[in-house]
Amino acid sequence: MEITYGVFVFILGLVIGSYLNVCIYRIPRGESTVSPPSHCPNCHTCLKPVDLIPLLSYLWARRKCRYCRQPISPRYFWVELLTGVLSVVLWLRFGWTIDFVAFLFLTYILIAVFFIDIEHMIIPDQLVMAGLGGGAVLFVYQLFQPFPIYGDRSWWNPLLGLAVGSGFLLAVSLLGLALYKSDEVMGMGDVKLLAPIGLFLGWRMTLLALFMAVILGGLSSLVLILFGKATRKSVIPFAPFIVLGTWISILWGWQIVHWYLEI
């Protein structure tokens, strides 16, 4: 029975992942994510249901468009797989709870943010607004029911999460502006992204997510510089690290805190 639920959650994730691919391609181009129906970006042939089966269509067609033979970005495959896998991981961690639904929603938004920021170095406002919408629903819910990741039951906890998350990155951004006369040290997109994350994580886990993001971002920059793939002046998108830090906090944040308090 459990395995049936797991397969169901995985397939749900694949279907959502397939829609996230549409969002990742179209939102930065200012196109609607619901119409027109999916088509090949090269030959514009409208895709049939058989072309739209997550994971399998891509493998069957040998990573090319079936109509014009133009190679298809492997991103389509990996976004679907990642969305399916993360859905199952969240379900294994939280079971059938409101927490599962809430973090699933946030995760789907963050997957789109992750891939759009890597490719275009922007975080679309639509995604931030969708996250804030979900965060507002969660805010009302937690007035009546405890939301364990917050760590306490004060009603303002998620609001403080929003304030410290966005506030911290805003401070970094202003500092960058003052010291380097550059607005590229920390983009406003990152500042905005922390608003929904703060609502979903509460202030404690938001701080942990930021801490993780800084460490992961710093280590990755160091590796890129050491291997000559970047210089100290390169602009490296930060949102992917915020996303990774958020997922770590959601899945293992409190374990990390307890482990740290014991050593």
The residues that touch Zn ion, with contacts defined as CB under 5 A, are 40, 42-43, 65, 67-68
Indicate the residue among 67 and 78 with the shorter CB distance to Zn ion.
Answer: 67
Indicate the residue among 42 and 97 with the shorter CB distance to Zn ion.
Answer: 42
**Which candidate, 251, 149, 156, places its Cα nearest to that of 200?**
149
Indicate the residue among 42 and 126 with the shorter CB distance to Zn ion.
Answer: 42
Q: How far is the CB of 46 from Zn ion (least distance, A)?
A: 10
Residue 127: half-sphere exposure toward Cβ, Cα within 13 Å: 30
Q: How far is the CB of 89 from Zn ion (least distance, A)?
A: 34
- Rounded-to-integer distance, Cα 14 and Cα 10, Å: 6
Q: How far is the CB of 17 from Zn ion (least distance, A)?
A: 21
- Rounded-to-integer distance, Cα 231 and Cα 229, Å: 7
- Rounded-to-integer distance, Cα 252 and Cα 49, Å: 38
Indicate the residue among 43 and 59 with the shorter CB distance to Zn ion.
Answer: 43
Q: How far is the CB of 115 from Zn ion (least distance, A)?
A: 21
Q: How far is the CB of 76 from Zn ion (least distance, A)?
A: 13
DSSP lists the bridge partners of residue 46 as: 39
Q: How far is the CB of 67 from Zn ion (least distance, A)?
A: 5
- Rounded-to-integer distance, Cα 32 and Cα 175, Å: 37
Indicate the residue among 65 and 90 with the shorter CB distance to Zn ion.
Answer: 65
Q: How far is the CB of 164 from Zn ion (least distance, A)?
A: 47
How far is the CA of 133 from the CAs of 50, 65, 194, 241, in angstroms? 34, 36, 14, 23
